[in-house]
A and B are shown apart, each in its own frame.
Chain A
Amino acid sequence: MQYFFYFFALISLVSAAYVVSARSPVNSVIALIICFLSIAGHYILLNAQFLAMVHVIVYTGAIMVLFLFVIMLLNLNTVGGLRKSVATRIAAATSGGLLFLTLVAAVRQGITVAPQVGALDGSVGLVKSVGICLFNDFLLPFEVSSVLFLSAMVGAMMLAKRERPSDLPKPYTGNELVGATPPTMDPSNTQGSR
């Protein structure tokens, strides 16, 4: 079984590395899709079936397609071009490597995998048990996340809306009032019209 693990691990690492270093954005997207699929494979290895399904449908299916749409619609498929300075890239690579090493060192020092509490249950990961846990313990976050989605949708719409010239505020020229009758002095309205 571990060969499967190493296989999938290798694929995910290589594709992630390619995402980072690809020249064309579309290539990056394809590599990312491959990475996601390998992670889905990992989920299946862990018997997390529900997660694997959701991962493939939501992440790979929806989000990546969205990325591709945006790239294509905005003509972002410039090959090469933008590159940071050499010094920055070296610094970036160093930081990333240092981070990895630090995490590993921290974990090596401290990690002791706690022994299992109770009997192992292989049915964890099935839709049923995930569902039970979700709707019993995490009901409120589940409901609140709908509000989150609502705000995200509204935000995205407002942000991306193309402003037509008729929507922008117009400068005041005073010509609209030409020919109109002046407002009468209404004593009951002395509060001020603003």
Chain B
Amino acid sequence: MEPVISAIQVVPLEHYVFLSFALFSIGVTGVLFRRNTIILIMCLEIMFNSVNLLLAAFSAYHSDPSGQVFVFFIMLVAAAEVTVGLAILVMMKRNVDSVDVNQLNRLKW
């Protein structure tokens, strides 16, 4: 396993950190940018993935498998969340006949 580790160690951890941050920021920008709800949910997925990547990198660099277990759980929750989110989207399409997120404007007193 030695070459694997030495191979991993070549790339310093900070690179993974910056990559993750960049992906996260792109996801945030996407959420604020788009009006289509489907694409909104997809940008959420980008954010999830950036976090997963970071966790996995740390886990590999610290030889701690609990990081990867946590990534597993995050994927789990993300799956459930996508399910429910798409169901809501279907309802929305059925009720207001549009997937524009600005149509959801009743959330005030």
Q: Does chain A touch chain B in the assembled complex, meaning CB atoms less than 8 Å apart? A: yes
**Could you tell me which A residues sit within 8 Å of B by CB distance?**
1-2, 5, 9, 12-13, 16-17, 19-22, 25, 28-29, 32, 35-36, 39, 42-43, 45-48, 50-51, 54-55, 58-59, 62-63, 66-67, 70-71, 74, 76, 82-84, 88-89, 91-93, 95-97, 99-100, 103-104, 107, 111, 113-114, 116-125, 129-130, 132-134, 137-138, 141, 145, 148-149, 152-153, 155-157, 159-160, 162
Most chain-A CB neighbours within 10 Å: which of B8, B39, B78? B39
Q: Taking the nearest CB of chain B, how far is it from the CB of A21, in angstroms?
A: 8
Chain B interface, >50% SS class = helix
Q: Mark B16-60, 1 if CB is under 8 A from A, else 0.
A: 011101111111111011111011011101100100110011011
- Decide yes or no: A19 and B68 within 8 Å by CB, A46-B8, A58-B75 being known contacts: no
**Given known A-B contacts A32-B45, A82-B100, A118-B63, A130 and B68 have beta carbons under 8 A apart:** yes
Asked if B10 is an interface residue, CB under 8 A from chain A, the answer is yes
**Chain B residues with a Cβ under 8 A of chain A:** 1-2, 4-5, 7-8, 10-11, 13-15, 17-19, 21-30, 32-36, 38-39, 41-43, 45-46, 49, 52-53, 56-57, 59-66, 68-69, 71-73, 75-84, 86-91, 93-94, 99-100
Q: How many whole Å from A151's CB to the nearest CB in chain B? A: 8
Instruction: Write the chain B residue with the least CB distance to A26.
Output: B38
Residues in A neighbouring B13, C-beta threshold 8 A: 113
* Distance to closest chain B CB from A80 (angstroms): 11
With the chains together, A70 CA to B61 CA distance in Å?
Answer: 39
